[in-house]
C-alpha cells in the first residue's frame, strides 16, 4: 500500500497539471485561488500519507494494546495514545506539506493568469523578469520575503522533529 502511495507521489506535477487543467476548466475555477486549493492535495495527500505511514508504523503496537486492556476504545486509544506520540511526525508532515504548497510553481503558473492572484513563487518569476532584464533588487527582496514564513515555521517547531518520544515507552 505504502509503495503504491509513494508511486502516486512520484508522478511529477509537470505531468499532472495537464489533466488537472481540464478538471479546473470543467469546475469553472480557472484563474481563481480555488484552482490551487482544489489541486494541491493531488500532490500533498500522497506525500503526507507516505510520510505519516512510515512514522506511525514506528509507534509500538504494544502501547495501543495496553490502552485497550486499560479500557480505551479503539478511537480513544488513537486519540489519547497514538496521536500524542505521533505529534512530531504530524508536525513534520505539516511543515513539509506547507513548504511544498508554498513553493509550488507549475499549478500556480498555469491555473492563475491575473497578477494579483498569483502566488509569490510564480509571481516573482513571471512578473519580475522581463525579457533579458531581471529586476534583481526586487527578485532578491521577494525571495527573502517569501522565505520568511518557512524560516519562521521551521524555527518554531524545530524541537518537534525529535522523534525519540517513544524511546523506552514499553520498557519495564
Which residues are at the interface with another protein (CB under 8 A)?
Answer: 17-19, 21-22, 24-25, 27-34, 106, 109-111, 113-115, 125-127, 129-134, 136
What's the closest the beta carbon of residue 32 comes to another protein, in angstroms? 3
Cα–Cα distance for residue pair 68/154, rounded to 1 Å: 35
Residue closer to another protein, measured from CB, 24 or 51:
24
Q: Which three cell numbers mark 62?
A: 504494544
Cα–Cα distance for residue pair 127/52, rounded to 1 Å: 37
Residue closer to another protein, measured from CB, 30 or 163:
30
Residue closer to another protein, measured from CB, 21 or 165:
21
What's the closest the beta carbon of residue 104 comes to another protein, in angstroms? 13
Burial of 35 from C-beta contacts in 10 A (0-12 / 13-18 / 19+): buried
Residue closer to another protein, measured from CB, 59 or 128:
128
Amino acid at each position: 500500500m505504502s509503495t503504491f502511495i509513494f508511486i502516486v507521489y512520484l508522478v511529477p506535477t509537470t505531468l499532472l497539471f495537464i489533466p488537472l487543467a481540464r478538471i479546473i476548466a470543467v469546475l469553472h475555477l480557472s484563474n481563481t485561488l480555488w484552482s490551487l486549493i482544489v489541486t494541491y492535495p493531488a500532490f500533498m495527500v500522497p506525500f503526507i500519507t507516505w510520510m505519516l505511514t512510515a512514522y506511525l508504523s514506528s509507534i509500538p503496537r504494544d502501547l495501543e494494546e495496553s490502552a485497550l486492556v486499560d479500557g480505551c476504545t479503539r478511537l480513544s486509544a488513537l486519540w489519547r495514545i497514538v496521536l500524542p506520540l505521533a505529534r512530531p511526525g504530524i508536525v513534520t508532515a505539516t511543515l513539509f506539506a506547507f513548504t511544498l504548497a508554498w513553493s509550488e510553481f507549475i499549478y500556480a503558473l498555469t491555473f492563475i493568469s491575473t497578477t494579483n492572484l498569483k502566488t509569490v513563487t510564480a509571481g516573482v518569476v513571471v512578473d519580475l523578469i522581463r525579457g533579458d532584464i531581471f529586476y534583481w533588487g526586487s527578485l532578491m527582496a521577494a525571495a527573502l520575503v517569501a522565505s520568511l514564513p518557512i524560516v519562521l515555521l521551521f524555527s518554531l517547531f524545530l524541537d518537534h522533529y525529535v522523534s525519540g518520544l517513544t524511546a523506552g515507552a514499553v520498557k519495564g
